[in-house]
Amino acid sequence: MIVLGFNVQGRDLGAVIAETRKRIGAKLELPAGYYIEYGGQFESQRQANRTLLGFGALALFGALLLLYKAFGTLREALIVLFNLPLALIGGIVALYLAGANLSVAAVIGFITLFGIATRNGIILVSHYNQLRRAGKPLDEVVMQGTLDRLVPVLMTAATAALGLVPLMFGSPVGKELELPLAQVVLGGLFTATLLNMVVVPTVYNHVEQWREKRHVRLQRALGPRESSA
């Protein structure tokens, strides 16, 4: 057994291992019975990513079930979860601008960010439903509901963001885990909060208009049959 160790700086560990495998596979032909294993920090990171992805998918499925239970329709549950790609945009851009890699801490930051973004969607959609039950037309529901919930959504995002801002300043020594998490959450909160007040109301409006038109078409199609019966 021959052990070869090296450190990685300035690049993503997974990308370095992938490039190493490619070059070794192209230039080195091992004798029969010999093989290469990549362990150490790379193996630990890979196991941690598998665990986080598994629990993340389970958490997302659980959130979908809870939202379906709360709103009663899969349609509104998916509208709330539409916040997740909006938050993902800001998190990825923040990591890119900071020159950081997708580490385990960054993945944890994305999971935390998804929870905050989902809560903002719940605040909006639940208020829309309250206004609709009050008998208000759809256009007024979207406009008034968005304005009514502007301050609560901003306060929710600001509370989480202000607690992470101090991690962005000062020396990065000792903040190797907290800094990527803060970068992801702050970047994702910016895009999720900004787009949440524009994209989610628009999607809700179009989905509800489509549902109402579909309901009218069904009523017209069933009307003659019921009258003839």
Give CA–CA dist 47/53, Å, rounded.
Answer: 10
> Does 11 fall in a domain?
no
* In the block, residue with structure tokens 């629990």: 55
What's the domain count of the chain? 1
* pLDDT tens-place string over residues 98-115: 877 777 788 888 888 888
Position 109 scores a pLDDT of: 86
Query: Which among 180, 185, 179, 183 has a CA at the least distance from the CA of 158?
Result: 185
Phi first, then psi: what are they for 174, rounded to 5°? 90, -5
Share of the chain above pLDDT 90, in %: 3
> Does 126 fall in a domain?
yes
Alpha helices in 28-40 (DSSP H): none
Give CA–CA dist 148/132, Å, rounded.
Answer: 14
- Give 223's pLDDT tier (boundaries 50, 70, 90): low
Looking up residue 223, the CATH number of its domain turns out to be 1.20.1640.10
> Does 104 fall in a domain?
yes
- Give 224's pLDDT tier (boundaries 50, 70, 90): low
End-to-end CA distance of the chain: 85
> Does 172 fall in a domain?
yes
* pLDDT tens-place string over residues 151-179: 888 888 888 888 888 887 777 666 767 88
As given in the structure block, the two tokens for residue 89 are 């945009």
Angle at 85 between CA 184 and CA 211, to 5 degrees: 155
> Does 185 fall in a domain?
yes
For 159, the 3-state DSSP assignment is helix
> Does 12 fall in a domain?
no
> Does 8 fall in a domain?
no
Average pLDDT over residues 194-206: 88
Q: Please, which residues have CB within 8 angstroms of residue 50's CB and are 6 or more apart in sequence?
A: none
Q: Is the pTM of this model over 0.95?
A: no
Give CA–CA dist 118/106, Å, rounded.
Answer: 18
Average pLDDT, the chain: 83
Average pLDDT over residues 202-219: 84
Are 125 and 76 in contact by the 8 Å Cβ rule? The answer is: yes
How does DSSP classify residue 7? -
> Does 149 fall in a domain?
yes
Domain extent for 117: 49-228
